[in-house]
């Protein structure tokens, strides 16, 4: 039986779109933890913070733009404890580890094998998007000037949403902060 060309074309178009969507999946990388927001006095739960590695934008003058998100460490731990040994999730983490995965975070902190395993699992949880973020920030980093500012900020705390969609003030990157971790990981070495 011959399939009419319009149906065949539509089927191929849908299939190609599905393949494209699979190729565009998020690749969140762990870079820090946080307990409170620097942008406001909103107290947040303990967070595992990730940057979206496959959508980092290089801007003029050595600036970088990157999205970050924070997941509740408690929610991630709860989900981690519910994972079965034969689950697809466990297989993905195991494949990463068998491939000698070394998270970007290892460039700025010495990690044990257990740390690498945990970070690989956390990144898979972040990529799955089954846990709602508690924090999302779009950062702009001035690499040569060693400064940072938020361009968009969204957080949920105690059931209330706090947000700002305007560029914040430039601030110097203080040591041992999320801005410092991001700049160490993403800015070219000078």
14-67: pLDDT as tens digits: 433 433 344 458 899 999 888 754 444 444 458 999 999 999 999 999 999 999
Residue 58 domain flag: yes
Residue 108 structural domain: 26-186
Q: Is residue 14 part of a domain?
A: no
Q: What is the tally of structural domains in the chain?
A: 1
**Does residue 18 fall inside a structural domain?**
no
Dmax (CA) for the chain in angstroms is 69
| pLDDT for 190 beyond 70 | no
Residue pair 90/104 in contact by the 8 Å Cβ criterion: no
164: domain CATH number is: 2.40.128
pLDDT tens readout for residues 95-133: 999 999 999 999 999 999 989 998 999 999 999 878 899
Does a structural domain hold residue 2? no
The Cα–Cα gap between 165 and 163 comes to 7
* The Cα angle at residue 90 between residues 89 and 91, in degrees rounded to 5: 90
| Per-residue pLDDT, 24 | 57
Say how far apart CA 182 and CA 24 lie, in whole Å.
22
Per the domain annotation, does 152 fall within a domain? yes
Measured distance CA(84)–CA(154) in Å, rounded:
33
Residue 79 forms part of a structural domain: yes
Main-chain dihedrals φ then ψ at residue 161, nearest 5 degrees:
-95, 135
Q: Report which of residues 126 and 89 the model is more confident about.
A: 126
Pairing of strands 28-36, 43-52: antiparallel
DSSP, res 11 = H
Please state the pTM of the whole predicted model: 0.79
Of 156 and 83, the structure prediction assigns the larger pLDDT to 156
The answer to whether 88 and 130 have CB atoms below 8 angstroms apart is no
Contact between 151 and 163 under an 8 Å Cβ cutoff? The reply is no
Q: Is residue 177 part of a domain?
A: yes
Within a domain: 11: no
Those residues whose C-beta lies under 8 Å from the C-beta of residue 69, and which sit 6 or more positions away, are: 28, 49, 50, 52, 126, 133, 135, 136, 137
């Amino acid at each position: 039986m011959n399939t009419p060309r319009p149906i065949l074309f539509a089927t191929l178009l849908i299939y190609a779109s599905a393949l494209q969507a699979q190729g565009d999946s998020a690749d969140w990388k762990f870079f820090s933890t946080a307990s409170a927001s620097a942008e406001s006095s909103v107290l947040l739960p303990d967070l595992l913070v990730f940057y979206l590695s496959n959508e980092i934008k290089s801007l003029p003058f050595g600036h970088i733009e990157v999205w970050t998100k924070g997941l509740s460490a408690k929610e991630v731990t709860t989900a981690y404890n519910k994972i079965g040994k034969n689950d697809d999730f466990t297989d993905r983490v195991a494949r990463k580890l068998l491939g000698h995965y070394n998270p970007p975070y290892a460039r700025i902190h010495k990690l044990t094998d257990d740390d690498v395993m945990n970070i690989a699992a956390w990144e898979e949880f972040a990529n799955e998007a089954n846990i709602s973020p508690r924090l999302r920030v779009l950062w702009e980093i001035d690499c040569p000037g060693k400064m940072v500012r938020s361009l968009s900020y969204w957080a949920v705390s105690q059931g209330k949403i706090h947000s700002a969609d305007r560029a914040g003030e430039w601030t110097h990157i203080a040591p041992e902060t999320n801005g410092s971790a991001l700049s160490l990981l993403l800015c070219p070495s000078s």
